[in-house]
Structure 1
Amino acid sequence: MDKKIKAVTRIMQAQYGFYIGIAILLVVLYQLDIILEGAYAANFGMQYILETIGILTTIALVPLSLKLFSVKLAKIKESGAEESLKLYQQWSTVRLMIIALVTYLNILIYYMTLNSIGGLCALIGLTASVFCLPGEKKIREELNLVTNNEENKEEI
């Protein structure tokens, strides 16, 4: 079981690194003018629409992703150990993808409008992603999985 937990942890860490890497890549591409920025900087009507979309997606999806995962976690704990580990990984991926959508969308809005609202919403998404940081200890605690060493300590 320990090997499976470590494997799931590595997969989730790779997914998180990929998420952060894409966010950094987007920023670098805009900063190096590979992707042109400010497409809607002079169009105040489009700025308003894009910023409203960014704000509403942030307001809706960040709490939804965090709450959805906690609701699913209660149901995941009812499964067997191996099944719960598989479901935990799947729902962690869904949560991270929802937060990634918020982050990437708002980075694009920030650079298209050159207004700080998109940047602020992207930072909210990045901050929320901290709750998605995978760790072996976190997985064990959330799924109530005890290692053999911990079982031995409890018996003594």
Structure 2
Amino acid sequence: MEEQIKKVNTRLKTVFGYFWLLPILLVILGESGGDWVGMYADNVRVTYFAETITILLVAVCIPVSLKLFSWVLAKKIDKVDILQALRLYYFWSGIRLIILVMPLLAGFLTYYMMLSNKGLLCALISLTASLFCYPSETRLRRELHISSEE
């Protein structure tokens, strides 16, 4: 049991690390220049549309990702045995990060393609919200109601 808890925790930290690697790669790609950087900077309609979509994605995805997980935890994960609970916890933690990656990608694409600071702000809000999803063994045990076997 302890081995499986540590394995799930390690996998969650790996997924979380990949989530944070994505914006680093986007910044490196965007700052190294390219034909796509500033491609729509002079198009006011496309910029407005992209900014609006990005802001709406942040406004919807962040509360959904945080609240959906607590709802699933209470309604689905708490009602199954421990091995199934670990699988579901890993699965829904991944879904939560996928929901958070949508405004992150939209924000960075808006920032680099439209040269809009609103996109960067939305991406940073999404990154900040991901800190509430940081996986730890203590948190996993607390949320799954597993006592520490010492």
- Give the residue type in structure 1 aligned to 2:53: I
Q: What is the Cα-based RMSD across aligned positions, in Å?
A: 1.0
Aligned match of 2:56: 56
C-alpha contact 1:41 1:113 (8 A) present in aligned 2: yes
Aligned: 1:42 with 2:42: yes
Identity of aligned residues (%): 41
1:91 is aligned to 92
Q: Distance in 1 between matches of 2:37 and 2:52?
A: 19
In structure 2, the CA distance between the partners of 1:82 and 1:109, relative to structure 1 (3 Å rule), is same
Q: Given that residues 29 and 35 in structure 1 are in contact (C-alpha distance below 8 angstroms), is that contact kept between their aligned partners in structure 2? A: no
TM-aligned CA distance change 1:124 to 1:35, over 3 Å: farther
CA offset at residue 35 of structure 1? 5.7
Question: Distance between the aligned counterparts of 2:119 and 2:36, measured in 1?
Answer: 16
Secondary structure, aligned partner of 1:148: coil
Distance 1:84 1:68 in 2: 16
SS in 2 for 1:77: helix
The corresponding residue for 1:154 is none
Paired residues, number = 149
**Structure 1 match to 2:108:** 107
CA contact (8 A) 1:58 1:125 kept: yes
TM-score (norm 1): 0.92
Distance 2:24 2:95 in 1: 21
1:14-53 alignment to 2 at 5 Å? 14-34=14-34, 36-53=36-53
Moved over 3 A (4+): none
1:15-73 deviation line (CA, Å, top 9, x unaligned): 11111111100110010114631111111111000000000111011101111101001
The amino acid of 1:68's aligned partner reads L
Who is 2:124 aligned against? 123
Listed as ranges, the gaps of 5+ residues in structure 2 are none
Deviations 1:53-99 (A, max 9, x none): 00011101110111110100102112111111111110000001110
Aligned partners of 1:92, 1:4: CA distance in 2, in Å?
16
**Matching residue's letter, 2:62:** V
The alpha-carbon deviation at position 123 of structure 1 amounts to 0.6
Q: Once structures 1 and 2 are overlaid, which stretch shifts more, 76-85 or 88-97? A: 76-85
Q: Structure 1: which 5+ residue stretches go unaligned?
A: 150-156
Could you say if the C-alpha distance between residues 10 and 125 of structure 1 is closer, same or farther in structure 2, counting changes exceeding 3 Å? same
